[in-house]
Amino acid sequence: MSIDYRIHPLKDYTPQIGTLVSMLDHTRDVTLSEIKDLTQQELDQRPSSFENSTGALLQHIAGIEKAHQLITFERRDFTKEEWEVWEPTLVLGEKGKEIHGNTIDYYINLLSSIREKTKQELQQKPDQWLWEEFKWPHGVAYNYHFMWYHVMEDELSHRGQIRLLKKALKK
């Protein structure tokens, strides 16, 4: 896998959205390069000082993106039925222990399919969509640009945890 170390607007998107997608893609490419050779055992292991496994963190990365798709593209939250499926992924901790037994291909396919939907939706959006403002029920303002920045920020944070997990497992 060759990683592009340039951030630039991608064709098929408006300029600002294309730049955002370039950043999301770079973040994902580095994550995939970090985890591509992990075994099912390595994905499931949790050293005593870690609450979550690498597999649970990868599924969480996918779940955060799925949640942001619903909020920004569909202007809704999870339905009760969807929440039952995604709760362990989003809550992690004790619930996250339910996530195990999956291969690296499972996680790569999950991350890829959710990202593909994100990219398809973003192709339909004009740049000004990023700046649309809303308020959470508790009154805090947000815009779509922040929401997609947060998807990237969350993945970066959990990739750091995955790197620490990999080091701990080597000991």
Q: Does domain 15-170 have CATH number 1.20.120.450?
A: yes
pLDDT in tens, 12-50: 999 999 999 999 999 999 999 999 999 999 999 998 889
CA angle 159, 21, 33 (to 5 degrees): 35
Reported for 127-134, long-range contacts at CB under 8 A and 24+ positions apart, including other chains, are 127/14, 127/15, 127/16, 127/17, 129/17, 130/16, 130/17, 130/20
**pLDDT for 49:** 86
Q: Which pair of structure tokens corresponds to residue 70?
A: 């619903």
Torsion of the alpha carbons at 135, 141, 144 and 150, rounded to the nearest 10: -120
Domain extent listing, the chain: 15-170
**pLDDT for 170:** 86
Residue from 58, 87, 88, 74 nearest 155 by CA? 58
Kindly report the pTM of this predicted structure.
Answer: 0.95
Mark the ranges of the chain whose per-residue pLDDT is less than 70: 1
